[in-house]
Amino acid sequence: MRPRILAGPQQLVALEVENQKVEHYGQGAPAQRNRRELERQNLLTELALLKAQVNPHFLFNTLNNIYSLTKQQSARAPEAVLRLSEIMRYMLYESNVEQVLLHKELANIRSFLDLQRLRLPGEAATAVAFQESGIPADSSYPIAPMLLLPLVENAFKHGDLSVRPQAVRLAVALSEAGELRFAVHNFVDALAQQLEGQPGGLGLANLRRRLNLLYPNRHTLTVDRQPQEHTVVLTLAPPSPMPR
């Protein structure tokens, strides 16, 4: 019988508490302890591999965008490099933890949006909208790092940025009960979509797996694909209290 793999930061803490109980009360404690430590290490390894896939995937797409600007000899290319450095600083130095504060994750998304707006004509910068609701500046809401960015990336990778007045629309809301809702809406170039196939690719598959590991039975991810527009809604349940 294969061992059951626990998932998520709270489950990892609970696992450590249970290990302590086994040490004190159980018989055959070393075998139980070894099995659970192996499960924990397997989980951490898989999460690390999934997270490691996010950065190259994002970097590849962003460098393509910057290459387009440089090929056009755009005066915006230096600013694009600056925005990319901000994002990479967050990835390398601030997201190397199990959880970050929500306001830091959203700040990274704003930097990404600023980078993407550089691809648009100056008068079309308002075609990308980001609405926030119920999130105080000093919010201590915890979230897994780089969890929301893949949804935003897909909107630009597969979206039709020529649509006006808004080509991409993002909305994030935090309820008083602590439920987080993140929605991304974008229009689609039907011809380009037929050539590319199903949207999402590695980014969306990676995200689904991370959600299953980090937020088991505590999230919903709804993808609504229409011929000319796509909407994705991610909902995270309120953070679980830490075991005492």
- Listing DSSP states for 36-102 in one string gives HHHHHHHHHHHHHHHHHHHHHHHHHHHHHHHHHHHHTT-TTHHHHHHHHHHHHHIIIIISSSS-EEH
Q: Is residue 181's pLDDT more than 90? A: yes
Mean pLDDT, the chain, whole residue set: 78
| Structure tokens, 59 | 């970097």
User: What is the percentage of the chain residues whose pLDDT exceeds 70?
Assistant: 68
Q: What is the pLDDT of residues 71-93, one digit of tens each?
A: 888 888 888 888 888 888 888 78
* Residue carrying structure tokens 């659970």: 36
What domains appear along the chain, each with residue ranges and CATH number? 9-236 (3.30.565.10)
**CA nearest 58: which of 94, 84, 19?**
84
* Encoded tokens for 111: 């930097």
Q: 1 falls in which pLDDT band (50, 70, 90)? A: very low
Q: Are 147 and 182 in contact (CB under 8 A)?
A: no
3-class SS of residue 130 = strand
Nearest to 91 by CA among 40, 38, 140, 145: 145
What digits encode the pLDDT tens for the residues 17-72? 444 444 444 446 666 766 666 666 665 565 555 555 555 666 777 788 788 888 88
Tokens of 244: 């005492």
Residue among 172, 129, 145 nearest 58 (CA): 145
DSSP bridge pairs for 180: 174, 236
Residues 6 or more apart whose Cβ sits within 8 Å of residue 191:
none
Q: Give the H/E segment covering residue 183.
A: strand 180-187
CA distances from 67 to 79, 85, 197, 231 (A): 13, 15, 24, 28
